[in-house]
Amino acid sequence: MEQVVVGSRSSVVGFRIAALVGGAVLVAAAAQIAVPLPGTPVPMTLQPMAVLLVGGLLGARFGAAAWADGRVFAGVSDCCLCDGLVF
């Protein structure tokens, strides 16, 4: 059998980096969109949908990496649950 090389290794790495940055930007942008819910003072954001979409498209490892990059935009570093975590 003959193997065909589709792209170079650097192009694959570049694509993965672009996908991580794009996923982080998508999650950060979706966090800024709030939909008011009737009967409650807490609005719903589109961030959970974006997190599921990015995780489904990028897979577990790269989706988690994109979310870890997106935590900077949300101010999660002040969260008491994240005190022992190192990102």
Q: Please indicate whether residue 29 or residue 12 has the higher confidence score (pLDDT).
A: 29
Q: pTM, whole model, 2 decimals?
A: 0.64
Q: Please indicate whether residue 66 or residue 27 has the higher confidence score (pLDDT).
A: 27
Residue 47 has a pLDDT of 86
Give residue-wise pLDDT tens across range 33-85.
888 889 988 888 888 888 889 888 888 888 787 776 555 545 544 444 444 54
Paired tokens of 52: 């599921």
Give residue-wise pLDDT tens across range 6-23.
656 677 788 888 888 888
**Angle at alpha carbon of residue 53, lines to 77 and 85, rounded to 5°:** 20
Are 51 and 27 in contact by the 8 Å Cβ rule? The answer is yes
Are 11 and 54 in contact by the 8 Å Cβ rule? The answer is no
Are 53 and 7 in contact by the 8 Å Cβ rule? The answer is no
Residue 77 has a pLDDT of 47
